[in-house]
Amino acid sequence: MEKSEAVINQQAKPTDIITALGLIYLALPFFGFFLGWYKSPWGEILAFIAAAGLLFALLKTDYSHADELWSQRQVYFVIIFTAVVWTLFGGAGHFFYANFDWYFRDAVLRDLTLAQGPPGYGFMEQDPVVLRAPIAYFMPAAILGKIIGLEYADAFLWLWTACGTVIFLALLPLPTRLSLRQILGLIIVVFFSGLDVIGMLLTNRELVEPGQHLEWWGWLFQYSSNTTQLFWVPNHALPAWIAIAMFYRHWRDPSFAYYVPLTCAVLPLWSPFAAIGMAPFYLLWFITQFRQVKWHPLTWLPAILILVATLPYLALSIHALPASLNMNSSGVGFSFYISLYLAFVIFEFILIWLLVYENADRALWFLTGVILLVLPLLRFGPGNDIVMRGSIPALMMLCIFTLLTVGSYRKMPAKRKILLGGLLLVGSVNPMQEFIRAINNDSWSPRLDKNLYQVANKNLPLHYTATLPPNGLGLFMLEPDNLLGE
């Protein structure tokens, strides 16, 4: 079999059980969102339509044989074990030290659990202030917390995170039999990163301390390692990882056409940045696989209505967030900006991107490079989130190419093996730092006694809250439950 044929076959698997689990995982939070946030009968109608679209896609899934991955119990035991251990060190569950962003995430989880409907935070110019954030990640844990008790919500959030990580790892192009190659592949995923430590040494010229966060060495932009994403922002990482892994696995198979519209529609409520990062890949699919597109109403109508219901919510007061071209708002000279940009893209992805060319689909390889070259030129959000979070799908595609390259190491020239191995080892310093910080610092219990307004020092954070106009989305959405009067 020619190499190009083998590469295409990797991306032309019929949708199967693990793909169905991925779609269910991404779609499940919407039932809580529609039924708990929208007035009757709008919420019931939206939930019914979403269920119909999900069921229709699942009925088009090939269940005639068990997925190859599950043919050996040892294989999924190793995957589950990896996911459990990996997520234990993250913020969800608070088993180890949780990074400071989790003060806000705990507050969001707490408010979603306690509020009767959309969480509210008083009024601004007579309009109610509502929680406006990508809440899909928190929704299942919040619902279980409502039923069983707030004190269990954080444990449910960890379990939800671990389940998503298992699904993601199972979707990757790993060996389907237990072997050292499979274990090595899982290690590469956990420790995959750019050369942040070299960037930090060059820009700060100081020795790196154990547990030090290295990601912001580029000052204006950041590409996060896989472990950094999981520990700091699983709400952005998990949907992007699952979506891009599903995409690589199936995008050349006709059955994937039943999954694309619904997957596109559910991503924004998980993470608008994950949706933006996935958009170029779906556009490539639409252009190259146009003949496979299924124009069935149950494929597209649920997706369209889900977007109609969620995008106006996510766009509330969006004009208050900063957006620009990065070079126009960086506050540094043009020559310095260009030098920093070139160092950033070289250290963060270009070296590995060039090395994995031989084992990558040419179109996906080129598109991945273009995305990662263009994103640092943009700026959106208080922490330039469009670069940090919009890059997650492309970075994971680069990680997938690396897995495939390592998997064919016997055919690689010795110099290429040494260079790729060296880059992966140096890059692994950054994820190691995240593990060291989680272990060395004291763990702390989730602060479930304060709402988002209190955690933000009684300042409404612009990227978490918005006003809900009563004559717009307020006609369909339930009145926010004012948590400031607790």
Burial 438-450 (b: 16+ CB within 10 A, else e): beeeeeeebebee
Joined tokens for residue 129 = 């202030």
Q: In this structure, what token pair is assigned to residue 45? A: 């109608």
> 482 forms bridges with which residues in the sheet?
120
Instruction: Enumerate helices (H) and strands (E) in the chain, giving the number of each.
Output: 24, 6
For residue 161, give the H/E element and its range: helix 153-171
Range of the domain at 297: 3-485
Q: Which value, to the nearest 10 degrees, does the dihedral of the CA atoms of residues 348, 349, 352, 355 take? A: -150
Token readout for 193 is 């990163």
Tokens describing residue 156: 């449910």
Kind plus residue range of the DSSP H or E element containing 476: none
Per-residue tens of pLDDT for the chain, all 486 residues: 345 555 556 677 888 999 999 999 999 999 999 999 999 999 999 999 999 999 999 998 877 655 555 566 788 899 999 999 999 999 999 999 999 999 999 999 999 999 999 999 988 888 899 999 999 999 999 999 999 999 999 999 999 999 999 999 999 998 878 888 899 999 999 999 999 999 998 888 777 888 898 998 888 889 999 999 999 999 999 999 999 999 999 999 999 999 999 999 999 999 999 999 999 999 999 999 988 888 999 999 999 999 999 999 999 977 666 555 555 555 677 888 899 999 999 999 999 999 999 989 999 999 999 999 999 998 876 667 899 999 999 999 999 999 999 988 778 888 889 999 999 999 999 999 999 999 999 999 998 889 999 998 877 777 789 999 888 899 999 999 999 875
Number of separate domains in the chain: 1
d(CA 244, CA 236): 13
Q: What are phi and psi of 3, to 5 degrees?
A: -60, -40
Tell me the one-letter amino acid at 327.
Answer: M
3-state SS assignment for residue 121: strand
Instruction: Tell me how far apart the alpha carbons of residues 468 and 412 are, in angstroms, rounded to a whole number.
Output: 58
Nearby residues of 427 by Cβ (< 8 Å), 6 or more positions away: 191, 192, 193, 194, 195, 196, 225, 352
**Is the pTM for the entire model greater than 0.85?**
yes
